[in-house]
Structure 1
């Protein structure tokens, strides 16, 4: 069963994701990042520029198959053709269809009411499927899921 972690009340979802992806990459994980096209384009840019000391290898899901095979982090809007099944990072508002193929799911929600409300719905969805999500509060408590 997929291990599910919610990282909630993130001040800057993309900056946090850059640090999270760096850490996951350094641990040897293969990661798929799910989100909308605009967010993934901004994440792509930030991964190249957020830390002058670190290289975080990544590519978009539309890269050549040879590139997808060797790249540890794939940015995508759909899990339909993803070859990696270690870690899924969900930056979107919806449940990632196909998340159960992954060993681990990290669901990230910022402090905006719409994002937190969507996270609550995803949490309930996972619970209804028999999962036991774990919450990681990144700022002082106050907004329950």
Structure 2
């Protein structure tokens, strides 16, 4: 059964995503990151090159030629029909990711604005209705809610 974690109150959604993706990949996890749109996906791609000065987070855009053998994939709605890995999915988009049920863990990162909170509440309700185990964390204070 898919476990779902929400990180609420993120001061910078992409910075937190980079940090959590780097930690997951360093821990041996295979990661899919679903950005809100192609522009966000490109920005995340650039940020992952510099997340830590002496670290490297191997990543490619979803559907790229090395996608099947790279531990971190980045995609956006429309390019997320097939993920080659099914370990952990970071969802930065406003809707549920297609096929999220196939992942072991889904991580939702929610910013501070009402424009980000309202869709996150709807996703929380959708996950809860499906009976999935949910955990919530305050991203800024780094505590469970």
Query: Under a length normalisation based on structure 2, what TM-score does the superposition of the two structures give?
Result: 0.91
SS in 2 for 1:49: coil
Q: Pairwise mapping of residues 37-76 of structure 1 onto structure 2 (< 5 A)? A: 37-64=38-65, 67-76=66-75
How far did residue 52 of structure 1 move?
1.0
After superposition, the C-alpha distances for 1:84-142 in whole angstroms (9 at most, x for unaligned) are 000000011111111000000001101111101111000000011111311011236xx
Structure 1 residues not aligned, in runs of 5+: none
Superposed CA RMSD in Å reads: 1.3
Q: Distance in 2 between matches of 1:8 and 1:52?
A: 27
**CA distance in 1 between partners of 2:71 and 2:108 (Å):** 19
Structure 2: 5+ residue stretches without partners: none
Residue deviations 1:33-61 (CA, integer Å, cap 9, x gap): 01221111100011112321110110001
- Partner Cα separation in structure 1 for residue 72 and residue 133 of structure 2: 26
Q: CA deviation at 1:24?
A: 0.2
Secondary structure of 1:88's partner?
strand
Tell me the equivalent position of 1:129.
130
